[in-house]
């Protein structure tokens, strides 16, 4: 039996001050790299019925990625993030109410058995996508790898802690750990 990873979450465009638009989003980047290793991920997300959404769909087609999990939203736009630098560090202005916030739980594709589920925390800010992820977890019993991505104001401590507790593996940096568990002694030396 072939196992395929399931990747759930945002696909968006990072928009830089010079107008450059770069396709991304942590889950999409993971799916794209898994495809490069010929692991044929099932990427579950949602894009708008707009030029950016068509660009994502066309890029996935060119790279031979499975489009079965990519939904098209007739109302909400494809996600964008304005990226800028403040004191040499990137800052992100993430728009709310984007297509990936509304992954339709009633339009999920058939899921592979016995694989791994990768998801982040950003795409779970709206009920539609949270419900879709819950259905995937309930239907598949896949082991979960959670990529914590705390971007203000788009996260709630209780929600992220519940994701972490239900995960098999977690990717988290020291700053995120300090925000979620301030009393933790398990942080890197400063």
3-class SS letters over the chain: CCCCCEEECCCEEEECCCCCEEEECHHHHHHHHHHHCCCCCEEEEEEECCHHHHHHHHHHHHCCCECCCEEEECCCCCEEEEEEEECCEEEEEECCCCHHHHCCHHHCCCCCCCCEEEEECHHHCCHHHHHHHHHHHHHHCCEEEEECCCCCCCCCHHHHHHHHHHCCEEECCHHHHHHHCCCCCCCCCC
At 36 the pLDDT is 96
Residues of the chain with pLDDT > 70, as a percent, come to 95
Task: Please tell me the total number of residues recorded for the chain in this structure.
Answer: 190
Q: What is the pLDDT of residue 151?
A: 83
The confidence band for 80, taking pLDDT boundaries of 50, 70 and 90, is very high
CA–CA dist 48, 54 (Å, integer): 8
Is the pLDDT at 98 greater than 90? The verdict is yes
Q: What is the mean pLDDT of residues 117-140?
A: 92
Task: State pLDDT tens for residues 40-51.
Answer: 999 999 999 999
Arithmetic mean of pLDDT, 143-160: 86
Residue 186 pLDDT level (bands cut at 50, 70, 90)? low
pTM to 2 decimal places: 0.89
Query: For the chain, what is the mean pLDDT?
Result: 90
pLDDT over threshold 50, residue 82: yes
């Amino acid at each position: 039996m072939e196992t395929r990873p399931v990747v759930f979450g945002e696909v968006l465009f990072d928009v830089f001050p010079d107008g450059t638009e770069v396709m991304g989003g942590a889950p999409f980047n993971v799916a794209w790299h898994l495809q490069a290793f010929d692991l044929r991920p099932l990427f579950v997300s949602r894009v708008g019925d707009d030029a950016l959404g068509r660009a994502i769909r066309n890029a996935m087609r060119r790279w031979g990625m499975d489009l079965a999990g990519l939904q098209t939203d007739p109302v909400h736009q494809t996600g964008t993030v304005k990226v800028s630098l403040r004191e040499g560090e990137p800052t992100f202005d993430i728009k709310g109410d984007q297509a990936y916030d509304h992954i339709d739980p009633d339009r999920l594709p058939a899921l592979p058995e016995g694989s791994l589920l990768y998801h982040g925390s950003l795409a779970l800010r709206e009920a539609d996508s949270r419900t879709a992820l819950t259905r995937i977890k309930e239907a598949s019993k896949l082991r979960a790898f959670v990529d914590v991505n705390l971007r203000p104001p788009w996260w709630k401590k209780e929600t992220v802690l519940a994701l972490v507790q239900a995960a098999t593996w977690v990717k988290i940096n020291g700053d995120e750990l300090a925000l979620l568990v301030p009393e933790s002694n398990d942080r890197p030396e400063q």
